Structure 1
Amino acid sequence: MAYSRPEVVSAVGGVIGALSAGELSLVTGRGGLSAEQLRDGLVGVEDRLRPYPDALWSWLDEHLVLVAVEGTSPVEHETVVPVWTDEGAARRGLRLRLVSVGTRGFLDARIVGVEDVDRVPEWAGFTGVSADEPAASLAMPGDNAVPERWRPALREVVSRLARGDFDGLARDGVLAPVGHPSHTMVRGGLEAYPDRLVDLPEDWWRWSDLASADHGPGRYAVVLSLWTAGQSPSRLSLEADIDDRGADDVRVQVIGAHVL
């Protein structure tokens, strides 16, 4: 697989976020279902679609099953994710095709089918973050902190996110292009959080983790806890890929933003 788990969860999040906001045009076409076909598949639940509750993301990150699609090169994958409504998990699921697009390899999730699914017991009882006040932090120090030479680049990216420079980050290739589901998911998630994002403190790196990514030499997956005006750190986390080309050439690509 040529992409990391955070990328997969981010791509799924873009689709779910667009659907729950009624923005079908963001996730239809481009080799998947048309808007009309998607509406037909969602009959009975389309008006009740909701974003995933926060706890479900961790469950998906651990249990999402990806199946390689025969005859595709580069290899594409498919997975089935639940549709969520105001009553919880529905018995309808989205079949998503995961495709790498663009020169920077942003992961795109395309809806290629809507099908019946069995409810999973672990889905019951998930609740979201209150929109009235920030919740207590659940962030924990990381096991494998990011190297010192990466920290200035990551700090600058977070600073620009805190200033709301989403379009500028997209132009610089740090964030997916405007209109891409991943861009919408990251921007929507940060703007909807019930507390204001702020710059990282001096010792932020203690709440970071990294792992080797499946993109070849010099590529790494990074998870950072983020700080807000009322939480230090907050329940927000940022997922990014690092492309370390040596010397001072360290490139950051934001993959997703989620609530722990």
Structure 2
Amino acid sequence: MDHLSQRIDVPVVKDEENEIPVPSIWRPVFRNIVSAFAKGDYSLESGVDCVLAIAPDTANQIEEYIHDYGENLIELPEESWDTSVCIWMGERWDVLVDLWTEGEGRSDLVLSAKVSESKSGFIFEVYMVYVP
């Protein structure tokens, strides 16, 4: 399939008025987070560069939500970038990444995260996985 997100490099933009596609430079980090979740590593014990540690309570909630949803998460396909978005909130970006499952393909689940700038790049904080 020829997806728009594969053809263009999506820049990091500070736009408080509009949701924009997830910047290309962030996508590998989100792929690694979802890959860990798909393997049952909800606290990111295996470590993902630039991602803050996930609190045990948050990791337990993420695991419960995914388990209660009743489907197995899979790695993010390229199509997930066609519908995943972020918006600048003045000091950080709020990001929603659409998640995919074995049985459904694109699911109703989203990964909610916050991304902040730092002197060394970007810092990612997983907020929650849920059905909006």
Answer whether contact 2:87 2:94 (CA < 8 A) is retained. yes
Q: CA deviation at 1:213?
A: 2.6
How many pairs were matched up?
112
Output the TM-score relative to the length of structure 2. Answer: 0.72
Amino acid at match of 2:35: S
CA–CA distance in structure 1, aligned partners of residues 24 and 30 of structure 2: 10
CA–CA distance in structure 1, aligned partners of residues 87 and 103 of structure 2: 29
Task: Provide the aligned C-alpha RMSD in A.
Answer: 2.3
CA–CA distance in structure 2, aligned partners of residues 202 and 246 of structure 1: 29
CA–CA distance in structure 2, aligned partners of residues 198 and 255 of structure 1: 19
Answer whether contact 2:86 2:96 (CA < 8 A) is retained. yes
Tell whether 2:101 aligns with 1:228.
Answer: yes
Which has the higher Rg, Structure 1 or Structure 2? Answer: 1
User: 2:129 corresponds to which residue?
Assistant: 257
Amino acid at match of 1:155: R
Q: CA deviation at 1:177?
A: 1.8
Return the match for 1:176 from 48, 51, 54.
54
Q: Which protein has greater RCO, CA pairs closer than 8 Å, 6+ apart?
A: 2
Tell whether 2:66 aligns with 1:193.
Answer: no
CA–CA distance in structure 2, aligned partners of residues 158 and 150 of structure 1: 13
Unaligned 5+ residue runs, structure 1? Answer: 1-142
Unaligned 5+ residue runs, structure 2? Answer: 1-18
Output the TM-score relative to the length of structure 1. Answer: 0.39
Amino acid at match of 1:177: A
- What is the identity percentage for the equivalent residue pairs of Structure 1 and Structure 2? 27
Answer whether contact 1:170 1:176 (CA < 8 A) is retained. no
